[in-house]
């Protein structure tokens, strides 16, 4: 069976950004060489029947190549220059129409206008109502309310409050602040529970009532969330800001003075790409160090200047783990040469993957992908610091040595899971949970990296990554097939045999959207995976790596990643 389809955003495209549709087919002959596309505007003026006008853009369909057991062709219609609704047809050289799109919207800040309210505000208010005892948010399809998921979501809401409030009404900003306070209050309960269980002062337990255990990564993410919220609430909610600032200091002091890395329990050799007998070092993972560094930056900006030296020290430790060019991974079997990313530990040649989250323990909450964006904040705040050039160069090496080539190894510019030694670059053969979180934060990270590179080509490449990872959530992805539902526990639809159909991954937003467990508008499910939902059974391999299954549980960090990426893109539009 030749699975194929015409894939495009189900929400729309922003003027000035890359605008692309993609064709998927298992046979190289699915789209003959020399095929062309035509873009027509739909005239839907009041009082007239909607109809397609004369062509506004024509072009050649470009063959991208083969990956994930399919061939891919791209339709680049970035030349569309006016707001409106359009259709795209793809024609073979003999004149036969191969594909015709449904209406596609193009507008200024369209993704923002269509998604920011349902994802950031409406969804979270509904999840507050549905949460256990009305405390925290309904986290996922179960009753859990995890520390890391709440901290991740608070950080994204703070991104919106700090960098996107000027595009929101005063009433919406008040609702947004109320959700930030609500989330932080639950983290405060987890921190108080840590003290009650005998944990060091400042540490958080993971979840009440099911996982009353301490994972240092939870406290690192909470320190960022508390510190970020305290800064933003200082003038409007000073009492809450003081409480959250104190909690941030307690969490950070615990991490800097007392915390030890989590035990090896819950370490997935499969997800990290290590042998099963790998001995886990008693060291913090690089992603934990990056989150601690970010927490120190938030505290410094909030007026606690002593944390500046800790941030700089942690930055040096992170930079010491950066993969040098002369030890690059890849470069064979069709994979790009990759350097500039990071080793997971000081004492092991294992490179960090974008997402290793699973079950409870060592890897819990590991959804932030290579998140060195705080180095760019440090660069701006401390432009006279002797390490400033090192921070910029670290981000530049990561952008040009890893992020751009790794994301360019697929037609969507999607962030891969990472490079697995002896196997290659993997995109889907890994996590079963939370990967859409990492995709959203990849967009935010790529946007930050634009400030560290030096050429227009590099900046354009990074912008393609920003837009590509956001549009993956909005519907420009590999397509839902009949086999996709092998990964779903709730969502089922009738998909024609052999069809790959684009769906928005934001529930209730777009032309059509994926299902999920709760059916709350604005939620985003786990997304595409090789492994069945909540099972790690398929070892990483080139043969297995493909967008085979779809997993439909709607964990709140998925929306958080998308939201931070959306805010980053809107701010890039401001400067564009």
Q: Is the pLDDT of residue 48 over 60?
A: no
Residue 87 is predicted with a pLDDT of 97
> How many separate domains does the chain show?
2
pLDDT value of position 49: 62
- Count Cα atoms within 13 angstroms, Cβ side, for 167: 17
Q: Which of 107, 141, 157 is the last residue of a domain?
A: 107
Asked if 224 and 119 sit in the same domain, the reply is yes
What does the mean pLDDT of the chain come to? 96
Residues 332 and 237 in one domain: yes
The verdict on 240 and 316 lying in the same domain is: yes
Crossing angle of helices 238-257 and 216-233, in 10° steps, is: 150
Structural domain containing residue 83 = 4-107
> Does 47 score more than 60 pLDDT?
no
Quick one: pLDDT band at residue 497, thresholds 50, 70, 90? Answer: very high
Tell me what the mean pLDDT of segment 494-507 comes to: 97
For residue 373, pLDDT beyond 90: yes
How confident is the model over 285-342, as pLDDT tens digits? 999 999 999 999 999 999 999 999 999 999 999 999 999 999 999 999 899 999 999 9
In degrees and rounded to multiples of 5, residue 66 shows phi and psi of -120, 135
Q: Examine the domain organization and report whether 59 and 85 are in the same domain.
A: yes
Last residue of a domain, one of 85, 107, 129: 107
From residue 24, alpha-carbon distances to 3, 75, 467 in Å are 8, 11, 19
Residue 432: pLDDT over 90 = no
Lowest-confidence pick of 49-58, 276-285, 402-411, 429-438: 49-58
Q: What whole-number distance in Å separates Cα of residue 42 and Cα of residue 104?
A: 9
Whether 481 has a pLDDT exceeding 70, the answer reads yes
Summarised one tens digit per residue, pLDDT across range 183-219 is 999 999 999 999 889 999 999 999 998 889 999 999 9
Residues 147 and 73 in one domain: no
What percentage of the chain carries pLDDT values higher than 70? Answer: 98
Q: If you count them, how many residues does the chain have?
A: 576
493 vs 119: CA distance, rounded Å: 23
Q: CB within 8 A of 431, min separation 6: which ones?
A: 271, 355, 356, 357, 358, 417, 529, 531
Percent of the chain scoring above 90 in pLDDT: 93
Q: Exposed (0-12), middle (13-18) or buried (19+): which is 537, by Cβ within 10 Å? A: exposed
Domain match, 309 and 329 both: yes
Domain boundary among 44, 73, 107: 107
Question: 537 and 401 in one domain?
Answer: yes
The pLDDT, as a whole number, for residue 46 is: 56
pLDDT tens digits for 155-190?
A: 999 999 999 999 999 999 999 999 999 999 999 999
CATH (domain of 205): 1.50.10.10
């Amino acid at each position: 069976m030749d699975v194929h389809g015409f894939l495009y955003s189900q929400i729309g495209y922003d003027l000035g950004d890359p605008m692309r549709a993609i064709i998927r087919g298992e046979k190289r002959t699915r789209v003959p060489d020399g095929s062309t596309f035509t873009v027509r505007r739909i005239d839907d003026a009041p009082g007239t029947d909607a109809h397609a006008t004369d062509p506004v853009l024509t072009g050649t369909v470009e063959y991208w190549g083969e990956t994930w057991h399919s061939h891919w062709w791209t339709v680049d219609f970035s030349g569309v220059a006016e707001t409106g609704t359009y259709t795209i047809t793809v024609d073979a050289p003999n004149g036969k129409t191969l594909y015709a799109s449904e209406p596609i919207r193009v507008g200024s800040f369209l993704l923002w206008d269509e998604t920011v309210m349902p994802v950031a505000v409406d969804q979270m208010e509904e999840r507050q109502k549905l949460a256990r005892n009305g405390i925290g948010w309904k986290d996922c399809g179960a009753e859990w309310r995890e520390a890391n998921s709440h901290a991740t979501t608070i950080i994204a809401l703070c991104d919106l409050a700090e960098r996107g409030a000027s595009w929101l009404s005063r009433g919406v900003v008040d609702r947004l602040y109320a959700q930030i306070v609500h989330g932080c209050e639950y983290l405060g309960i987890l921190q108080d529970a840590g003290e009650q269980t005998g944990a060091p002062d400042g540490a958080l337990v993971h979840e009440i009532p099911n996982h009353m255990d301490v994972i240092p990564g939870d406290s690192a993410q909470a320190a960022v969330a508390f510190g970020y919220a305290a800064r933003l609430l200082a003038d409007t909610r000073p009492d809450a800001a003081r409480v959250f600032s104190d909690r941030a200091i307690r969490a950070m002091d615990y991490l800097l003075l007392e915390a030890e890395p989590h035990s090896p329990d819950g370490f997935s050799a499969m997800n990290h790409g290590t042998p099963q007998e790998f001995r886990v070092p008693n060291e913090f993972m690089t992603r934990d160090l990056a989150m601690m560094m970010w927490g120190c930056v938030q505290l410094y900006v909030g007026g606690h200047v002593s944390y500046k030296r800790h941030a700089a020290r942690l930055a040096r430790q992170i930079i010491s783990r950066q993969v040098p060019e002369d030890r690059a991974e890849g470069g064979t079997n069709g994979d790009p040469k990759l350097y500039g990313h990071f080793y997971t530990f000081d004492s092991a040649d294992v490179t960090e993957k974008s997402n290793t989250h699973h079950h409870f323990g060592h890897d819990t909450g590991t959804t932030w992908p290579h998140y060195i964006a705080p180095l760019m904040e440090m660069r701006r705040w401390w432009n006279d610091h002797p390490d400033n050039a090192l921070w910029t160069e670290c981000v530049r090496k990561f952008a040009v040595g890893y992020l751009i080539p790794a994301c360019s190894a697929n037609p969507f510019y999607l962030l891969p899971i990472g490079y697995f030694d002896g196997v290659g670059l993997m995109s889907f053969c890994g996590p079963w949970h939370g990967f859409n979180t990492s995709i959203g934060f990849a967009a935010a990270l790529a946007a930050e990296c634009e400030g560290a590179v030096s050429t227009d080509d590099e900046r354009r490449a990074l912008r393609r990554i920003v837009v590509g990872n956001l549009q993956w959530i909005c519907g420009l992805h590999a397509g839902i097939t009949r086999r996709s539902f092998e990964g779903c526990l709730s969502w089922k639809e009738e998909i024609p045999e052999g069809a790959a159909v684009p769906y928005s991954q934001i529930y209730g937003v777009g032309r059509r959207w994926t299902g999920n467990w709760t059916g709350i508008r604005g939620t985003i499910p786990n997304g595409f995976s090789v492994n069945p939902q909540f099972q790690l059974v398929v070892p990483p391999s080139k043969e297995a790596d493909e967008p085979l299954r779809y997993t439909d549980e709607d964990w709140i960090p998925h929306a958080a990643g998308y939201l931070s990426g959306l805010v980053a893109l809107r701010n890039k539009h401001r400067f564009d």
